Amino acid sequence: MLMYDDSFVAAMTATTDEATALGARIYGSEHVLLGLLVAHDHVTQHVVDMFPGLTAPAVREAVRAALDDAPHLARLGLTLPAASATAPSDGAARGTRPRAKHTPELQSALNQATAKWAQLRRIGALPKERKVSSAVLWLAVLEPSARGRRLLHAMEIDPDGVRAGVLSAIVPTGDAVPTWPTEAPVGPATRFTHWVFGHLNLPR
């Protein structure tokens, strides 16, 4: 069974807090991006050192502006389905945390990123850590299907450069930074990982 380290838990707790503050019923990859920046662990620090404009206030404002401006929302690819994540629930209106749920686009991005991450671990290109760290969340946010990636494009920040920064932060010093796979392998282990992330329960 997958286990999550403190950086993962802190980032996801910040994600749900930020989504709630923005009046969201469910959270997507743009909220995870914001949560990563708020939690600010060593991987995030490495990324921010490379991209000083990538800050929590800047992302928060970009998400808020997108929610307030439908044409801008469409340009960012942030259009949400019915039962929108942008409409406050009763709990959000009272300032309490709603039930933690994530969007299908985030699930898809997590599935793709974890499969590619596992592939690189199997061939020794990434460390075989015992617990899943916030780096996996960063890699999910940067997947082609993720709204977080499109948000970065809109902010004129290169998502591929950010990914290179994430990977360089998690490989041992002196080791080569691996090339991120373009396709995700599918097998029993991958399907199990997808199932685990699909049933992700977060601390409240």
CB-based contacts of 7, cutoff 8 Å, min separation 6: 39, 41, 42, 43, 133, 134
Cα–Cα distance, 9 to 23 (Å, whole number)? 21
Query: pTM, whole model, 2 decimals?
Result: 0.80
Give the pLDDT mean for 186-195: 52
Q: What is the pLDDT of residues 142-182, one digit of tens each?
A: 999 999 999 999 999 999 999 999 999 999 999 999 999 99
Quote the pLDDT of residue 105: 94
Residues 6+ away with beta carbon under 8 Å from 25: 83, 84, 85, 87, 88, 89, 92, 98, 101
> Which pLDDT does position 200 carry in this prediction?
56
Report yes or no: 16 and 100 within 8 Å, Cβ to Cβ: yes
pLDDT at 76 over 60: no
Residue type, 184: A
Q: What angle, rounded to 10 degrees, do the helices at 104-122 and 134-141 form?
A: 120
- What is the tens place of the pLDDT at every residue in 10-45? 999 999 999 999 988 899 999 999 999 999 999 999
Domain positions in the chain are 6-198
The candidate with the shortest Cα–Cα distance to 48, out of 33, 60, 37, is 37
Helix crossing, 56-68 with 147-154: angle to 10°? 100
Q: Grade residue 88 by pLDDT with cuts at 50, 70 and 90.
A: very low
Query: Using CA atoms, how far apart are residues 10 and 202, in angstroms rounded to an integer?
Result: 10
For residue 154, which of 62, 79, 22, 69 has the smallest C-alpha distance? Answer: 62
Q: Is the pLDDT of residue 83 over 70?
A: no
Whole-number pLDDT of residue 163 = 98
One-letter amino acid for residue 1 of the chain = M
CATH architecture label of 6-198: Orthogonal Bundle (1.10)
Residue 148 and residue 108 in contact, taking contact as beta carbons nearer than 8 Å:
no
Assess whether pLDDT exceeds 50 at residue 204. Answer: no
Cβ neighbours of 157 (radius 10 Å): 18
Neighbours of 9 (CB within 10 A): 16
> Per-residue pLDDT averaged across 104-118, rounded?
94
